[in-house]
């Protein structure tokens, strides 16, 4: 399984990182893994 940063994944699906973050907040899209170094940015 490949892991992508939010920026890379947004590019792959032609969406913005903000769109992905909004979908995460609405429980529409959940990441399989969150790096400890990214916890302060979510």
DSSP state of 17: H
Q: What are the tens digits of pLDDT across the range 26-39?
A: 989 877 777 787 77
Averaged pLDDT, 12-25: 94
Q: Token match 């400890």: residue? A: 36
Task: Give me the pLDDT at residue 1, please.
Answer: 64
The larger pLDDT score, comparing residue 17 to residue 37, is at 17
- 16's CB contacts (< 8 A; 6+ apart) are 10
Structure tokens at 1: 């399984």
Average model confidence (pLDDT) across the chain: 85
pTM above 0.75, yes or no: no
**Average confidence (pLDDT) over 6-18:** 95
């Amino acid at each position: 399984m490949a892991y992508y940063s939010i920026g890379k994944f947004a590019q792959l699906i032609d969406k913005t990182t903000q769109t992905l973050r909004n979908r995460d907040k609405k429980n529409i899209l959940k990441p399989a893994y969150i790096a400890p170094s990214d916890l302060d940015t979510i």
